[in-house]
């Protein structure tokens, strides 16, 4: 009866419970302040031939859906625009949708190449990729993007992302 009613030998347990609840609450508050991801982080690169802007989160969590937007602005005509993604874009991350659908898809030395076709000078092309992060994904990833005109490299954009559990 002393054990159940008077909580004998259980004096320290309320402190442990309170500390665990406080730690959980702190993690939730940090999540509310966007420490663990989903905020879009735009980055861009520009040359005399084209400009590329990538808008995608650089911090994501396992199981979450996110969108990446690629805005290509052609300063000069790009006869065969091809966006080439680093393999980490799809390592433990599922690509659900590509809109608009590329003219062609290929692999370039293990990198994903999306052929977009012709972009006239002064025009822009928007490409949307929708992803889901697999629950087993974890750690730092490269989100590098290259823009080619056929086989000629126009520009490179270096990005990194973190996948939280």
User: pTM for this structure?
Assistant: 0.81
How many beta carbons lie within 10 A of that of residue 131, not counting itself? Answer: 20
89: left (phi over 0), alpha (psi -120 to 50) or beta: alpha
CB 59 within 8 A of CB 37: yes
Two tokens, residue 59: 């911090």
pLDDT in tens, 16-67: 888 999 999 998 888 788 777 678 889 999 999 999 999 999 999 888 999 9
Q: Residue 74 pairs with which residues in a beta bridge?
A: 50
pLDDT in tens, 85-132: 999 999 999 999 999 999 999 999 999 999 999 999 999 999 999 999
pLDDT at 71 over 80: yes
């Amino acid at each position: 009866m002393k054990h159940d009613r008077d909580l004998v030998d259980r004096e320290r347990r309320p402190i442990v419970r309170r500390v665990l609840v406080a730690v959980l609450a702190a993690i939730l508050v940090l999540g509310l302040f966007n420490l663990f991801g989903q905020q879009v982080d735009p980055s861009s690169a520009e040359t005399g031939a084209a400009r590329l802007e990538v808008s995608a989160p650089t911090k994501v969590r396992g199981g979450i859906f996110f969108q990446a937007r690629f805005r290509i602005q052609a300063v000069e005509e790009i006869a065969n625009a091809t966006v080439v993604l680093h393999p980490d874009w799809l390592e433990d991350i599922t690509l659900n949708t590509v809109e608009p659908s590329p003219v062609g898809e290929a692999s370039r030395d293990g990198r994903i190449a999306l052929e977009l076709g012709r972009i006239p000078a002064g025009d822009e092309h928007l490409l949307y990729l929708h992803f889901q992060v697999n629950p087993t994904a974890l750690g730092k990833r490269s989100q590098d993007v290259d823009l080619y005109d056929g086989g000629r490299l126009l520009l490179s954009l270096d990005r990194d992302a973190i996948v939280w559990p």
